[in-house]
Each structure stands twice: as structure tokens, then as C-alpha cells.
Structure 1
Amino acid sequence: MRRERAVEQAVRIIRERYAEPLGLDELARAVLVSKFHLLRIFTEITGVTPGRFLSAVRISEAKRLLQQSDLAVACISSMVGYSSTGSFTSRFTDSVGIPPTRYRQLSRGQAEFTARPRVDDDGARPERSRLGGVTRARAVPLSPIYIGSFEGPILQGRPSSWTSTRRPGPFVLEQVPYGTCYLHATMLAVREHPLETVLLTATFGPVQIGPYAGVEAELVLRPRAWWHPPVLFAVPGLEILTGRTHPGFKRIPSGFK
């Protein structure tokens, strides 16, 4: 329990002080453990290092500010801890899938976005396989379930394969590249008590994809917990829904913290 409390405290500090130049040494001093111990237990519980968690929180907060304010991109860049607008724009685009200005338009219903599979830098298309599985959720869907294969445990970057289903059940991802990947699923749903919209997600992996992988993935969609890194990728069709109030439901903030 002590190790979980230390990580929870470190996550809280990151979420509260994301605009500061937080380092591993400072986080470790704040939670009263060695930096090596913190690095190990933080990664075990959250699936990512403190540095990657901090970067994800910064981009997540930038998404919220872009959606809910008219602040300039340069101003938002500074507010979330970046000293260079160019570096921020590059990191945001790599993580969310589109540039900040385009994301602002998308979140306000002024632009469309289609997830296109990632290709290698040289344009090559590696050998690919077919991957099947099933999604499960105890909730009433407000959106399709979006499922994709990504490089890492944070839902960010561009998917190598992408699909959607109208309800929980079987799915198939076509043309998944050979190698290691993570499967991510996400959807908006209704939570009855209290009556509100809630983001559900699931992660499966790492998965080794090859000609004889034989993987059957099970993705159980659940509400986000404190140890989950923010969702960064601009899920098609979901960003605009999270920015609108549904009759009878509470508005949930964008950023998916």
C-alpha cells in the first residue's frame, strides 16, 4: 500500500504542477522515496515513466485549453510548460494526430478528422497480419467503440490499424504490422449514478504480432482511474461529443485526465 500511495502522490503532483520543470529527483524528494525506487514502482503501476506521464498531462491540458478557450497557441504552449512553441506544436501533433489549431477546430465541430494508419518514415509498408478480439463493457454506449493498434501504452500517435464497432463484441483489425504493439479501445458511455457521460477505455498489450501470433485480444472497457495516463490521440467522432452537453447528462471536460 505504501508504494501505491507514493505513486498516487507523485501523479497528483504531476497533475497539479505540470507547467513546472519537474524532474525525477524533485518528485522522489516530494514523496520521500529514492528516485530509483520511484521510477520502478511508478512504471509498474501506471505503465509509463514519470517523464512520459508528465508529457502526457501537459498535452492533455493543452487539449482542454484549445477546446475551452481562445488563447493563442503560443500562450497555451507556455502555460503547459513548453519554452518553445515549435517544440510544443511538434509534440502535440505527434501525440494527438493533428496540429493544435486543427484540433481546436475539430473540438468545436468546425473540422473533420479521419484516422489514417501510420507508415514508416521511408514510406515502406512492413509485413502485416490480421488480429481479432472482443470488447466488453457494462455501460450504455453514447458513441461507437474505437479500437486501434498503437506503438505504446499511452493512447497517442497514429494507429497502425484502426476500426470501430457499434456495440461491445467481436472486432477485427486488418493489416497490423509485424512487431510489438498495444491495442487501445475507447468509447463514451452513460453512467447511471450519477447520471453523466463517462469515457471508458481499455488497453491490451504489449502484443507480439507475427505470422503465427494466434492472439485473441480481450478489451474490457472501464472508466479511467487515477493511475491511467491521459488519452491524447484525437479519437475520430469523440472530441466534439466530449465538448457538448447532452440532455440529462453532465458535461465532462476534454483532455480525458
Structure 2
Amino acid sequence: MVVEERSSSSVANPLFLHFQGLPQQLGKACRAFLPANLAKGKLMDDVSEAAVLRAIDEMHARLGEQLTVDDLARAAMFSKFHFTRMFQRVTGVSPGRFLSALRLQRAKELLASTPMRVADISVSVGYNSVGTFSSRFSRSVGMSPTIYRRCAGYAMEIRDQADGLRPRLADAGLSCDVVLAEQDHDAMIFVGLFAGRIPEGRPARCAVLRASARVRFDNPPPGSWYLHAQSISVGDAPAVSKLGPSGASWGLYADRADRPVAVASAGPILLRPGTTASTKLILRPGRVLDPPVLLALLDVRTYALTGRAQSRNRAGSELASVA
């Protein structure tokens, strides 16, 4: 009886009753808080992306001018400090790096579609020296402005770096499932291993696929790398072009109007001796917020007609269908 009386007394204790319902109260509070918190996070992402888009539109409108980070921060309507961090978080690169890539992307478009002289193009995209422009263009695109124009904006092939340039990782590899989000039977996919977040210059390793597949690079160079993929349709589907508030073209992800591009990236990927890294790339249509693809894209029509898409690339990558 004594035990029963104490039990009854403890149940009647107000403090006990208060804590007895605490788990239910916490659960109810969490259920009410989480959606609001998630909505707040989504709102902040939308605000950040809108600010970055304003800055990118300013870049397009003033490619020929000497823009500063202060100019871009004012266009984004944020302080210089917050704008720089926000831009890096949203796009993956700094504002200056993004602007430099846009200048070269615009130069590619002008070289492929207009008879403008190289010197005039360099000035129109913000370079004071045609020599500096030609050097940066060649390093990023993989060919000189003159050759790029002569090839009508296409690359006949994309060669990876010579094996002697960097040591190779014995018994190491990198495998990747490459998937087209929207299946395109006319698409060809280029996959390359690059040193930075923008695909430019010669890749350390590369492969060309005719469909979604798994690609493996054996014995890649050691270090930190980014894996980039881009697909170009062999068909004649038009590229989607978007205009910013100032009227600047945002059709960034096709070198030519008939060359739509889907993109995907992963990294940084740390490659070490004796290990195999793996990742997955799901290609989607390029967005305005994605840094431009600077490397000259393959002439996929010629590539397809000559049947040069291989099941094994120069670096020894093996391709197998993705389940």
C-alpha cells in the first residue's frame, strides 16, 4: 500500500506532469519549426541566386569595360564582402574568374559567327592587349583564335596531357557513372579530368561516350582534380537562349546556335596512390549560374560520321553500360 501511495503521489506531482508531456511538446515544436526553417533556407538561396544573376547580367552588359568587384557588388545590391562570398558559394568560382571566362566565351561566339578581326574582338571583350588575349584564349580553349575561327568553332579532337608531364598513380583509378538526365540518342558526351572548376585547357584524362555509361581512368596523375562532362547533340535541336534584364544574351552553353550543351561537374576529387575513387555525374542543361565551358567542343557530327567514339580512350578507360 505504501508503494502504491507514493506512486499515486508522484503522478499527481505538477513537475512530473510537466516533464511527462515534454517529448510530445518538443515533437510538436519541431514539426512546426522545420518547415518554416526549410522555407527560410530556400528563400535565402533564392535571394542569393537573384543577386548573383544581377551581377552576371552586369558582366554581360559591360564585357568591354574594366569592371571591378565593387561595380558587381553594387549591381547585386550587397556589400563587397558578402557579395564575394555569396558569388563563390553559388557559382563555385570567384567573380573575377567568372568574368574572365565570360569574356573568352563571348570571344568564341564572335570568332565563330562574325568576320570581326581578332584585334577588334579582343577589345570588345575587355582586353587592352591582343597578345594577352590570344595567349589566354589559346591556353583556355585549346587552340589559337585564328585556328578556332578556321575550324568554325569546333575541335576535331581533344587530346589529354602527355603522360610524361606528371607522374602517374600506379594501381590507382577513377571511375564515374555518367548519366544524361534527359536521354538523347543523338548526343555524344565528353568527360575530362581538369585541374579547376572551369573546363579549360588540356585535360589530364578524357573520354568520349555515345550514351550514358561508366568510364574508368586507370593510373591518373596524383592530386586534387575536377571531373567535368558535357554533351552535345549530333542533331539540329536549337539551343535555348535567355535574355537578361539588360538584354544581354545568356545563351552561354552552346558555342553555336545549333549546339546545345548539357553539363555536369564533380570535385574536388583527391587521387592518391593505391586507391580508386568513384563518383557520379548527372548531366543537365547548363544554367546561367554555371561557369562557361571554355574548352573547344568536339565537332560531334564529324566525330559521329567517322565512328571515332571509342570504348577505350588513350588513358585506358573502360566503358560499360550503367545498370
**TM-score normalised by the chain length of structure 1:** 0.84
Q: Distance in 2 between matches of 1:141 and 1:211?
A: 37
More helix by share: 2
CA deviation after TM superposition for structure 1 residue 197, in Å: 5.9
- The aligned counterpart of 2:269 is 207
- Which of 78, 82, 85 is the equivalent residue of 1:40? 85
Structure 1 residues 108 and 155: CA distance shift in structure 2, 3 A:
closer
Secondary structure at the aligned position of 1:134 is classed as strand
- The aligned counterpart of 1:165 is 209
CA deviation after TM superposition for structure 1 residue 108, in Å: 6.0
- The aligned counterpart of 1:65 is 110
- The aligned counterpart of 1:133 is 176
Instruction: Give the letter aligned to residue 7 of structure 1.
Output: V
- The aligned counterpart of 2:139 is 94
Gaps of 5+ in 1: 242-257
Q: How many residues matched?
A: 236
Gaps of 5+ in 2: 1-45, 241-257, 304-323
Secondary structure at the aligned position of 1:171 is classed as strand
Q: Distance in 1 between matches of 2:136 and 2:268?
A: 23
- The aligned counterpart of 2:31 is none
Please list the CA deviations of residues 128-151 of structure 1 after superposition, one character each: whole Å capped at 9, or x if unmatched: 342111111122143321101001
- The aligned counterpart of 1:147 is 191
Q: Distance in 1 between matches of 2:260 and 2:151?
A: 20
Instruction: Give the letter aligned to residue 130 of structure 1.
Output: G
- The aligned counterpart of 1:244 is none
- Which of 292, 307, 312 is the equivalent residue of 1:230? 292
More strand by share: 1
Question: Would the aligned equivalents of 1:161 and 1:174 in 2 still touch at CA under 8 Å?
Answer: no
CA deviation after TM superposition for structure 1 residue 240, in Å: 8.1
CA deviation after TM superposition for structure 1 residue 55, in Å: 0.4
Name which of structure 1's ranges 55-64 and 11-20 shifts more when overlaid on structure 2. 11-20
Structure 1 residues 145 and 85: CA distance shift in structure 2, 3 A:
same
Name which of structure 1's ranges 219-228 and 6-15 shifts more when overlaid on structure 2. 6-15
- Which of 151, 158, 163 is the equivalent residue of 1:115? 158
Q: Distance in 1 between matches of 2:288 and 2:301?
A: 21
CA deviation after TM superposition for structure 1 residue 229, in Å: 1.1
Instruction: Give the letter aligned to residue 168 of structure 2.
Output: E
Structure 1 residues 188 and 115: CA distance shift in structure 2, 3 A:
closer
- The aligned counterpart of 1:49 is 94
Q: Larger C-alpha radius of gyration, 1 or 2?
A: 2
Question: Would the aligned equivalents of 2:173 and 2:275 in 1 still touch at CA under 8 Å?
Answer: no
Q: Distance in 1 between matches of 2:285 and 2:207?
A: 21
Instruction: Give the letter aligned to residue 207 of structure 1.
Output: I
Instruction: Give the letter aligned to residue 151 of structure 1.
Output: A
Q: Distance in 2 between matches of 1:237 and 1:143?
A: 12
CA deviation after TM superposition for structure 1 residue 11, in Å: 1.2
Q: Distance in 2 between matches of 1:31 and 1:237?
A: 37
| Percent of residue pairs identical | 37
Q: Distance in 1 between matches of 2:268 and 2:188?
A: 24
Q: Distance in 1 between matches of 2:299 and 2:218?
A: 21
Q: Distance in 2 between matches of 1:35 and 1:19?
A: 22
